[in-house]
A and B are shown apart, each in its own frame.
Chain A
Amino acid sequence: MTSAASHSAPSGFLARRLQGLRVWWTMLVICLEERLVYRGDFVLGTLMRFLPIVTQVFLWTAVFGATSTGSIAGYSRNDIVAYYLLTMVSRAFSSMPGLASGIARSIRDGSIKKYLVQPVDYVGYLLAARIAHKLVYYAVATLPFAGVFLFCREYFPPIPDWTTLGAFLLSLVLSFLLGFFMEATLGMLGFWFLEVSSIVFAYMLVQYMLSGHMFPLDMLSGIPTGVAGVSVADVVRFLPFEYTAYFPAAVWLGKVQGAELVRSLLVEAAWVGVMIVACRVAWWRGTRRYSAFGG
């Protein structure tokens, strides 16, 4: 009896794990198919993300052309171009278009209640959907990305060593998770505010500027805060935003190395942990105060 139980327990556990994986796989396939329905829109949306880089390259070329110095905040003109291209890669992982507003909408219109009665974890479902979105995006974007990077290869420093490459990839994966859980938490504010579009827009503004998407954050080093010895860059470094754009690019360009690199990766992982907990707490508290009416 004891022996039979000890044999069935692991197989039951395995079956449950397999069932869980099957559910995840099904969700992933459904989301992939959904993404591919409107292929034209998706391809258009993917390709045009390169357009702002073009203006940034010309803008900074003009800025460097008008200055006698060959370096701004430790960046040469080539570094700046490489930086913007690399932040494109970072943003390809960390940006979550429509995630927060989608969650808030499903809370507002009541469609979220189906996830409350189904044996499906809503956050897990959203994560699978987002992974599917990203997989399709990478499938479409890899070729244009490779083309642009090949075309602009002269702007880049030599390819970094394997350790740096590994750290770069790890920072990208963490930036995906950080971006996802930050936006999901934001969307769950819909349990309290119903309409969060203005909050989301305000978040996007702050995120755009403080993540380093707009310019390398090192440029803020010379801007004083009013507190002796503390620059705006020092304040920004205390926030999680830099890990969604600046940090992976800085890793590739060798701006963060050695012990500082390890410490920054650990801080990024810690931010991911904090945001996972925040997201779960928001979901748990939100669903307890949520009420839906109608059929």
Chain B
Amino acid sequence: MTRYLSIFLTFARACLVRDMTFRANFVLECVTSLGWMAMNLAFYLLVFTFTPEIGLGTGWTKEPFFAFVATGMIINSIVQALFMPSAEELTEMVRTGGLDGILVQPLDAQFLLSMHRVDFSAFANGLVGVGLLCWAIPRLPQPPHPVAILLYPLLIACGVAILYSLVIMLAAATIHLGRNQSLYDFWFYLTNFSRYPAEIYSGPWGGPLRALCTFVIPILLVVNVPARVIAQPLTEQGGMMVAGTVFAAGAALVISRWVFQAALSKYRSASS
């Protein structure tokens, strides 16, 4: 474990050195990334000019909703910074045969393929998320419970673990498809479901969709549970959701590991 941590830190250092070599590009990437976030925040502000809350009686008024958005920004920035750049590279490695070089390394292939590249510019969104959270928390109708503040980092980690598992499973699909240029798009569209409070998924179609995105692909647990814990009063149902999220994160990691290994066993080299 220490060895892997040391290797990961070496990868991170190398990526940071590379990013700092092209500082102007790094700053531009941060700015464009922040631009995307600013645009989304502008959209939410626009929505709140038409409505006092997202869904009648849900409690997702402006400040709690912005705490929700901030939580999503923090989780997504961690995944985008640590895992997405490597997963995207895998799609080309499969097609070009570059994966062969990884498989003969004396290291765990999943570790090497999912964590060898770090995009430091993606952390910019996370910092904005932390800032937004700091703005929203004092303005919440009810201040967060001390237990909620303790649970929040754990639930953020669970959210990251669930998204990481999804990224790994999508990357594994590359091996079957031969090429998966849509990996990033698919991940974006899938995580789109987690960008809003689960309460919006109601009615004859929303109910089953909510169940699907909670129990089958637990994407709705990723942001909803930590955001609910910090932005809304703790309830008994909330406690069950916390336990469920921890369980889902563990299960997602195990299943994604199995899917990835199964996909690797089907890999046929593309190089000569």
Contacts from A to B (Cβ < 8 Å): 38, 40-41, 44-45, 48-49, 51-52, 54-55, 58-59, 61-63, 65-67, 72-73, 195, 198, 201-202, 205, 208-209, 214-215, 219-220, 222-223
The 8 sampled A-B contact pairs (Cβ below 8 Å) are A38-B179, A41-B179, A41-B182, A55-B195, A59-B200, A62-B56, A205-B36, A215-B46
Q: Select from chain B the residue with minimum beta-carbon distance to A65.
A: B56
Contact A66 B28 (CB under 8 A): no
**Chain B proximity of A17: nearest CB distance (Å):** 37
Contact A40 B178 (CB under 8 A): yes
Question: Given the interface contacts A195-B25, A198-B25, does A66 sit within 8 Å of B52 by beta carbon?
Answer: yes
How far apart sit A59 and B201, CA to CA, in the bound complex (Å)? Answer: 8
Give the residues in chain A near B46, CB-CB below 8 Å: 215, 219-220, 223
A205 in complex: contacting residue of B32, B58, B181, CB < 8 Å: B32
Give the residues in chain A near B25, CB-CB below 8 Å: 195, 198
Contacts from B to A (Cβ < 8 Å): 25, 28-29, 31-32, 35-36, 39, 42-43, 46-47, 49-56, 58, 176-182, 185-186, 189-190, 192-193, 195-196, 199-203, 206, 209
**Chain A proximity of B17: nearest CB distance (Å):** 19
Interface of B is mostly: helix
Give the residues in chain A near B56, CB-CB below 8 Å: 62, 65-66
**Chain A proximity of B166: nearest CB distance (Å):** 13
Question: Given the interface contacts A51-B192, A59-B200, does A40 sit within 8 Å of B177 by beta carbon?
Answer: yes
Q: Select from chain B the residue with minimum beta-carbon distance to A209.
A: B39
B196 in complex: contacting residue of A38, A58, A65, A195, CB < 8 Å: A58
Give the residues in chain A near B195, CB-CB below 8 Å: 55
Give the residues in chain A near B32, CB-CB below 8 Å: 198, 201-202, 205
**Chain A proximity of B251: nearest CB distance (Å):** 23
Contact A59 B178 (CB under 8 A): no
Give the residues in chain A near B36, CB-CB below 8 Å: 205
Contact A44 B209 (CB under 8 A): no
How far apart sit A137 and B267, CA to CA, in the bound complex (Å)? Answer: 28
Question: Given the interface contacts A198-B25, A198-B28, does A66 sit within 8 Å of B55 by beta carbon?
Answer: yes
Q: Select from chain B the residue with minimum beta-carbon distance to A63.
A: B51
Give the residues in chain B near A201, CB-CB below 8 Å: 32
